Amino acid sequence: MGKCIGLMALILWLCACQNAEISVPMAEVGLGVTDTEVVFGSSLALQGHAGYLGQETLRGAMCYLRHVNEQGGVHGRMIRLITRDDSYDPPKCLDNTQRFLIDDQVFGLFCYVGTPTTVKILPLVEEAKVPLLGMFTGANALREPFMPYLINVRASYYQETGAAVEHLVNDLKLRRIAVFYQYDAFGFDGLTGTELALKRFGLEPVARTSYIRGSHDIHESLDRIRDSQAEAVVMIGTSDPCANFIRQSLEEDYAPIFYMVSFVGAKELSRNLIQSETSQAKVIMSQVVPPPLHSDGTVAESAREFTELLDLYYKGDEPNFVGFEGYINAKVLVEGLRRAGRNLSRESFLAAIESMQDFSLGSDVHLSFGSVDHQGMDTVYFTLLHDGHFILLENWQDLREGAQP
Write out pLDDT tens, residues 264-323. Answer: 988 888 888 876 666 678 999 999 999 999 888 899 999 999 999 999 999 989 999 999
Look at residue 295 and tell me if it is in a domain.
no
Q: Each residue of 93-119: b (16+ CB within 10 Å) or e?
A: bbbbbbbbbbebebbbbbbbbbbbbbb
Write out pLDDT tens, residues 102-123. Answer: 999 999 999 999 999 999 999 9
Q: 267 and 360 in one domain?
A: no
Please answer whether residues 354 and 332 qualify as being in contact, where contact means their C-beta atoms are separated by less than 8 angstroms: no
Residue 400 has what pLDDT? 74
Q: Whole-prediction pTM value? A: 0.89
SS3 396: coil
pLDDT bucket at 388, cuts 50 / 70 / 90: confident
- In angstroms, rounded to a whole number, what is the distance separating the alpha carbons of residues 269 and 260? 10
Q: 328 and 271 in one domain?
A: no
SS3 content of the chain, % helix, strand, coil (to 5): 45, 20, 35
Q: 37 and 69 in one domain?
A: yes
Q: 282 and 191 in one domain?
A: yes
Look at residue 373 and tell me if it is in a domain.
no
Look at residue 173 and tell me if it is in a domain.
yes
Look at residue 8 and tell me if it is in a domain.
no
Does the pLDDT value for residue 14 go beyond 50?
no
**Which structural domain range is residue 164 located in?**
157-287+381-401
Q: Write the CATH number for 19.
A: 3.40.50.2300
Q: 282 and 198 in one domain?
A: yes
Q: 125 and 82 in one domain?
A: yes
Q: 203 and 341 in one domain?
A: no
Write out pLDDT tens, residues 45-75. Answer: 999 989 999 999 999 999 999 999 999 999 9
Q: 385 and 356 in one domain?
A: no
Q: 309 and 190 in one domain?
A: no
Look at residue 194 and tell me if it is in a domain.
yes
Q: 393 and 282 in one domain?
A: yes
Look at residue 355 and tell me if it is in a domain.
yes
Number of domains in the chain: 2
Q: 329 and 273 in one domain?
A: no
- In angstroms, rounded to a whole number, what is the distance separating the alpha carbons of residues 373 and 128? 21
Q: CB neighbours of 404 closer than 8 A, spacing ≥ 6?
A: 398
Does the pLDDT value for residue 234 go beyond 80?
yes
Q: 200 and 102 in one domain?
A: no
pLDDT averaged over every residue in the chain:
90
pLDDT bucket at 389, cuts 50 / 70 / 90: confident
The mean pLDDT of 385-390, rounded to a whole number, is 87
191, burial (CB in 10 Å: exposed 0-12, middle 13-18, buried 19+): buried
Please answer whether residues 76 and 342 qualify as being in contact, where contact means their C-beta atoms are separated by less than 8 angstroms: yes
